Amino acid sequence: MKIRAIFIFLSLIAIIQTSTYASVDKRQQWWNIRLEKLITMRDELDKEKGLDEQILFLADREIERARKILGIFQEKSTGVSSDAAPRRVHALSEMNSMLDREFSPLFSIYTLSQFIKGFGDYRFYTYTESAVKKKLSLMIINSLKKNQKSIDDILKNDIDKSELKVLSAELFLGSILKKMEGSFSKIKKAVSENFVSNRELKKEISDSELSVRISESIITALEKENFIKDPDFHDNIIDTAWSWMQMETEILKKNSGILTDEYRNRWKSALPPEKMYEYRLNRNREYLNFIRDMYRDASTGTFAETISAKNYYNESASGAGRIIKFFRNLQSYNHSVSNDEKNSIERKKVIFENELKKYQSEISGYCRDYLNSRVRISKKNSELMNSCKGIIGQHEINVFMESIHDHIKVYSGYNYGAGVMNEYKALYDRLHNESISGKISKQLKESMSKGSLLGMMPEYKRENFERENSSRIHIKKEAMRIISWMQSVIQFYKKIDAGIRDLPSSDDIDNYKNILNQRVEKKIGQWVMTESNYETIDRNLVKDLSNSMKKTPWLEVHGESDRDRGQRNFLLSLTGLRATFTIPAGWDEKVKDDTAVTGSPSKFFESYDGTSAIEISWVPLKGRNIMDLSEELINRHGAKYYMKKWGKNGFGDYFWVLSKADENVIIETYICSRNEVAFVISGRVSKEKYQFFKSKFDNVFSSLNINI
């Protein structure tokens, strides 16, 4: 509790002493956080497959700018101007020299924080229980008489859970010590080797920027190693743990009646309580020496105090009291001993308590030294930064403006979606004209069958469209954030009267927002296609085309110019006979199996809406007259006469019949003959549409021209 109180007290002093200058200092903290978030975001973007590569370019530029600003903060806080400390390419030897100076303190801070986090972690209790079960299994095989006791019996009846918790903490400490034997050199070597390939360290940077980046590299390497993840409790760790040795002795003692002869002798030769307690204290001294030395190394750190480094130190300093309390609790000895042994143990306990107070004092001193040095540096830095607030503020505004311009430049360069929409509109307008004119192309028919026009466009690739859309959304989101941050920073520096002169106007900011709020959209038909609804609008527009086609057969004809719109001429031949005729817009030729007379040449046409049909055939009379043929055709359709009459036109007599079939279907037929062959024009339509159909059907008959 004492160490934690000292840490909190010194931290409060630091806050009070620097409160006058904290305003600008907070900006540096903000940029530290910003940099860490940018690095994390960059790693995530690298795994994202649905974004444009320029997003990574923007992220790299943002990281570069954040480091540039932090470098300016560092330079201003040390009182060294940019001119006096120019940005330069650092030699590898300089980087390694800085690494030698900064690695040990950061290693100590991180290791201490991980150790404190591991205290009481249930995972390590589980690992400990597994390790104990393994040892008990061997004990049952080698020490206890067969089938006398199980592992669960021993765990339940012979081992106190509090003893397992103590063993868990000791094994965890032993595991860290074991891992550290090679980790220090291994991690340091990995960081040094990274200097050679790290492109950021090869650029021109200031000494302060280099310090920040090296600190970041060390912390990243330490986090990757992660000492407390899946600790490996080797046999040599548990065998040398005093808490296990004591636990094993007590188990053998409680089960002395079922011991094998070999283990009975081993139990009798176990260390006496006084010697066991001495061994326990010596092991604890090893652990405490290790922990104290780590705090000492941490207090000498001159590393760049990044957010991560500061957080790890705060965890280690504020948790030091828990460490002392843990070792103080381990002094108790509750096992039955003789009076002489008890007196000896009590004397050793007093000696260790005095030593523990010394450890506590030393650790408290190291925490105090660290915080005092940081308070002095923080106060000095804040005073210097406050005196340079106008310069720093202008740099911040400039960096934000550069960032906004970069984002808008990339954002405005995305024109794939707009190009696709322009092509789409041109295609739709052409096909729409076809649909209403009746001049139906193969492309229009194909689009109807696919239910989409997008698939008809060679330049359209869905993945390209989606990638650009996702990239635009990402850039807009980031750019709007930066604009918002810049506006807040402008107000911040105005409030503290920093005297910044070069500021963007409100009109400039509004213009940036307007550009970012512009949607990729196109008015096509009755719909507005955008980057987010384009597939839905595509389906809607195809439906519109289909509906337009269905209306074409029933459009009124006004004058000769309209009469020719969408009409198509056809030829139907029989030996020695040729008939030409015109089909109006709105009917499409179809293949029909059951023609009027099997084997006779015929053509079949159906309206786009499927409600009417026209069939034209050459039919040999074979001794029949025209009226007999008409009756035969009417019967074939299951229809009844409604009206009939003879008529005459330019090529001779014809017979006209109007009949009615089931389901209110009207059948109208014209029949004329040449050389014992009848030419039949028959139309089927619903009763409701007959009045519109009549004029179209008559035009087909009037267009008929028969040549012998």
Q: What long-range pairs does 327-331 form, CB within 8 A, spacing at least 24?
A: 327/284, 327/287, 327/288, 327/356, 327/359, 328/353, 328/356, 330/166, 330/280, 330/284, 331/356
Q: How are the residues of the chain apportioned to helix, strand and coil, as percentages rounded to the nearest 5?
A: 65, 10, 20
> Rounded distance, CA 557 to CA 582, Å?
15
pLDDT of 14 > 50? The answer is no
Candidate from 346-360, 367-381, 443-457, 692-706 with smallest mean pLDDT: 367-381
Please state which of the ranges 10-14, 257-261, 382-386, 414-418 shows the lowest mean pLDDT.
10-14
Task: Report whether pLDDT(432) > 80.
Answer: yes
Most confident option among 20-24, 164-168, 552-556: 164-168
Q: Which of 111-125, 229-243, 471-485, 618-632 has the highest mean pLDDT?
A: 471-485
Q: What Å distances lie between residue 497 and 21, 386, 465, 646, CA to CA?
A: 14, 11, 47, 104
Average pLDDT over residues 82-104: 74
- List the Cα angle 29/100/81 in 5-degree steps: 45
Who has greater pLDDT, 593 or 199?
199
244-287 pLDDT tens trace: 777 777 777 777 666 666 666 655 556 677 787 888 888 888 88
Q: How far apart are CA 132 and CA 369, in angstroms?
A: 42
Cα separation, 634 vs 653, whole angstroms: 20
Question: Residue 563 above 50 pLDDT?
Answer: no
Q: In 3D, which of 620, 360, 393 has the Cα closest to residue 495?
A: 393
* pLDDT surpassing 50 at residue 20: no
- What amino acid occupies position 673? S
C-alpha dist (Å) from residue 52 to 39, 312, 413 = 18, 36, 12
Among 136-140, 305-309, 516-520, top mean pLDDT goes to 516-520
Please return the burial class of 664, using the count of CB atoms within 10 Å of its CB with bins 0-12, 13-18 and 19+: exposed
What pLDDT does residue 8 have?
44
Residue 529: the pLDDT is: 93
* pLDDT on residue 670: 93
- 3-state SS record for 55-106: HHHHHHHHHHHHHHHHHHHHHHHCCCCCCCCCCECCCHHHHHHHHHHHHHHH
Return the top range by mean pLDDT from 232-241, 405-414, 669-678.
405-414
Is the backbone of residue 350 left (phi > 0), alpha (psi -120 to 50) or beta?
A: alpha
Q: Which residue from 248, 265, 264 is spatially nearest to 256, judged by alpha carbons?
A: 264
Check whether 25 has a pLDDT greater than 60.
yes
For residue 679, the cross-strand partners are: 618, 672
| CA–CA distance, 546 with 445 (Å, rounded to integer) | 10
Question: Do 252 and 263 contact (CB within 8 A), yes or no?
Answer: yes
pLDDT in tens, 284-343: 888 889 889 888 888 877 666 676 777 888 888 888 888 888 788 777 666 667 788 788
**What is the number of residues in the chain?**
708
Question: Which pLDDT value is given to residue 552?
Answer: 66
Helices marked H in 198-306: 207-225, 235-239, 242-254, 261-268, 273-299
The answer to whether the beta carbons of residues 317 and 291 sit under 8 Å apart is no
The band of 227, judged by pLDDT with boundaries at 50, 70 and 90, is low
Q: Which residue has the tokens 């030294």?
A: 369
Output the average pLDDT for the chain: 78
pLDDT at 455: 84
How far is Cα 63 from Cα 82, in angstroms, rounded to an integer?
20
pLDDT at 645 over 80: yes
As a whole-number percent, the residues of the chain with pLDDT over 90 amount to 16
Q: Which residues contact 526 (CB under 8 A, 6 or more apart)?
A: 544
pLDDT reported for residue 121: 61
pLDDT value at 57 more than 80: yes
pLDDT surpassing 70 at residue 12: no
The pLDDT of residue 165 is: 77
Q: How far apart are CA 517 and CA 475, in angstroms?
A: 11
Element (H, E) at 680: strand 677-686
CA separation for the pair 667, 631 (Å, rounded):
12
What b/e readout covers 40-77, taking b as 16+ CB neighbours within 10 angstroms?
eebeeeeeeeebbebbeebbeebbebbbbbbbbbbbbb
> What residues does 669 pair with on adjacent strands?
657, 682
**DSSP-derived 3-state class of residue 707:** strand
Residue carrying structure tokens 């992220």: 59
Task: Please state, in angstroms and rounded to a whole number, the distance separating the CA atoms of residues 607 and 550.
Answer: 7
Which residues partner with 579 through β-bridges? 572, 706
Chain center to CA of 642 = 72
User: Distance (Å, rounded) from C-alpha 308 to C-alpha 33?
Assistant: 9
- Pairwise pLDDT comparison (389 vs 579), residue with the higher score: 579
* Residues whose CB falls within 8 Å of the CB of residue 160, separated by 6 or more in sequence, listed in order: none
Rg over alpha carbons for the chain, rounded to the nearest Å, is 46
pLDDT at 477: 94
Burial class (CB in 10 A: 0-12, 13-18, 19+), 415: exposed
What pTM value is reported for the model? 0.48
Q: How confident is the model at residue 346 (pLDDT cuts 50, 70, 90)?
A: confident
Find where tokens 């698939």 sit: 455
Phi first, then psi: what are they for 620, rounded to 5°? -60, 135
pLDDT score of 258: 64
**Encoded amino acid at 576, one letter:** G
Cβ 115 vs Cβ 173: under 8 Å? yes
Q: Is the dihedral of CA 56, 60, 65, 66 positive or negative?
A: positive
Written as one letter, the residue type at 573 is S
Question: pLDDT value at position 517?
Answer: 92
DSSP state at residue 594: S
What is the separation of C-alpha 444 from the centre of its chain, rounded to a whole number of angstroms? 40
pLDDT of residue 21: 41
Q: How confident is the model at residue 234 (pLDDT cuts 50, 70, 90)?
A: low
Phi and psi angles of residue 582, each rounded to the nearest 5 degrees, phi first: -120, 130
Does pLDDT of 462 surpass 80?
yes
| Cβ-proximal residues to 3 (8 Å cutoff; 6+ apart), any chain | 317, 320, 321, 324, 360, 363, 364, 367
Report whether pLDDT(535) > 80: yes
| Tokens standing for residue 62 | 């943002």
Give the C-alpha distances (Å, rounded to integers) separating 203 from 90, 213, 214, 271, 443.
8, 12, 14, 63, 57
- For range 525-554, the mean pLDDT: 85
In contact, 672 and 654? CB cutoff 8 Å = yes
Do 586 and 566 contact (CB within 8 A), yes or no? yes
Q: How many CB atoms lie within 10 A of CB 160?
A: 11
Residue carrying structure tokens 């918002």? 484
